[in-house]
Amino acid sequence: MTPLLLTAVILFTIAMVFYTWGIWAEKYARRLKLWHVYMFAIGVAIDAFATVLTYVEVGGLVWTPHSIMGFISLGLMTIHFGWAILVIKRGEEHALVNFHKLSLFVWSVWMISYLSGFLLGMGKFG
């Protein structure tokens, strides 16, 4: 594994930690809070940066089931983050306490992408 790809893998894992922390903290709090949105932002930003590093390492877009799922996941995470900002700004209680439903869906899709990348990478070492 090249140093650039290793950096991307480490960053994807850091993104997973922040994003997961934000998602599950929101679920257990039973209400979207501003600090959850910051966690989403950190996760999305790091994931996007790691995606750019991967793109540079590979030399362009490579369309595989994993990469397609990754782009869908990054898109959903970005939409999720943007929607979280709107929900916080509006401050409507119903939206704040039900936001976790969207969060868990987006997180689940992203985890499929993350885990598929992990398994694909592990397959290269075996």
Which backbone phi and psi does 96 adopt, to 5 degrees?
-65, -35
The pLDDT score that the predictor gives to residue 102 is 93
The pLDDT score that the predictor gives to residue 27 is 95
Helix axes 3-29, 34-58, angle to 10 degrees: 160
* Interatomic CA distance for residues 19 and 121, integer angstroms: 21
The pLDDT score that the predictor gives to residue 119 is 78
* Interatomic CA distance for residues 82 and 20, integer angstroms: 17
Tens of pLDDT along 24-58? 999 999 999 999 999 999 999 999 999 999 999 88
The pLDDT score that the predictor gives to residue 109 is 94
Name the residue among 111, 52, 53 with its Cα closest to residue 77.
111
pLDDT average, residue stretch 62-88:
93
Domains defined for the chain, CATH in brackets: 3-120 (1.20.120.1770)
Whether the model pTM is above 0.85 = yes
Name the residue among 51, 69, 65 with its Cα closest to residue 109.
69
pLDDT-based confidence at residue 124 (cuts at 50, 70, 90)? low
Burial class of residue 88, CB neighbours in 10 A (0-12, 13-18, 19+) = middle
Token pair recorded at residue 123: 């397959």
Tens of pLDDT along 79-118? 999 999 999 999 999 999 999 999 999 999 999 999 988 7
Question: In this structure, how many other beta carbons lie within 10 angstroms of the beta carbon of residue 35?
Answer: 12
Name the residue among 48, 14, 19 with its Cα closest to residue 36.
19
Residue 102 and residue 80 in contact, taking contact as beta carbons nearer than 8 Å: yes
pLDDT-based confidence at residue 15 (cuts at 50, 70, 90)? very high
